[in-house]
Amino acid sequence: MADWFARFMSERPLIQIIDIALVWYIIYKLLIYARGTQMINLLKGVGIFIFAKFLSATLGLRTIDWMLGQVLGWGVIAVIVLFQPELRRALEILGRNISGNRPRTQNPSKKLIDDLEYAVKYMSRRKIGALIAIEAQDELGEIIETGVNLDSAISNQLLINIFIPNTPLHDGAVVIQNFRVAAASCYLPLSENGNIPKELGTRHRAAIGLGEVTDALVVIVSEETGDISLVKENHMHRGVKSDELKTLLEQYLVVEESTVPKDPVEQFKQIIVNGFKSKGEQDEN
């Protein structure tokens, strides 16, 4: 028994778990920071070199292993020289996070509502026709495929620019998915309901058609009158006033803080905390 305990302590499994968790965390943060920058291509190259070195060491290819070791060793200096601004920014972010002076993140649904409200009111005042579908539980993948893929961060400026008349993307609908502008110039299914008022045009008929088959929220701005309408499933809000718009958007789009996707590290920490809590409750019982 004593020998087993001594061997277990010598292997230090907890230290190994912490070591692996720290490496995973560093790689995750590095990939998040490098995403969308030139550094991501560098990381891909480094990953290929590391895999090749591991393979050469495993197969006993000593010459290739030595050469790759030299490249990786001197490559650290090259990275520092070539990516000095990016590394400095990363260190500044790291220092700010450690000191606790990190910026407060905004609930993405609230930002979506603010951008939608501003853009829709702007286009309404200028009678710029618009058709915006916001995905809910039912996926809009087939609708997105009919348009031009954007996968862009949402902003009121982008929404306004898309619907400016005589621009390439102003015809059709914009689809918002996962708080991002997924695609523009998308085709929505037209409703064949004969009870739709005749004064409603193609945009309204398309919005009603999408509401008949999905639970998406569709926002319409009339090009003729500038009137704002909202469609949610089988219900249509016509002639929405400026002071009513935000209330309706919050009614359909607000996501509670607890349901907003969290950082994987925060999720892991929460799982550990919940595990200790449940164990404590079991011990008390």
In sequence order, what DSSP letters do the residues of 135-189 get, joined into one string? --SS--HHHHHTSEEEEEE--HHHHHHHTSTTSTT-SSEEEEETTEEEEEEEPPP
Report how far apart, in Å, the C-alpha atoms of 79 and of each of 10, 46, 186 are: 37, 10, 43
pLDDT digits (tens, 9 = 90+) for 69-103: 877 777 777 767 766 666 676 666 666 555 555 44
What Cα–Cα distance (Å) separates residue 11 from each residue in 2, 6, 23, 136? 14, 9, 19, 49
Average pLDDT, the chain: 79
pLDDT reported for residue 1: 46
Residue 233's pLDDT band (cuts 50, 70, 90): confident
For 13-66, write each residue's pLDDT tens digit.
Answer: 677 778 778 888 887 877 776 665 556 666 777 778 788 888 888 888 888 888
Q: How far apart are alpha carbons 41 and 181 in whole angstroms?
A: 25
Q: What pTM was estimated for this model as a whole? A: 0.57
Residue 36's pLDDT is: 57
Rg of the chain in Å (alpha carbons): 27
Other beta carbons less than 10 A from residue 179's beta carbon: 19
Tell the residue number behind the tokens 């999408």, with chain if given.
210
Would you state the pLDDT for residue 259?
46
∠ CA 152-218-161 to the nearest 5 degrees?
40
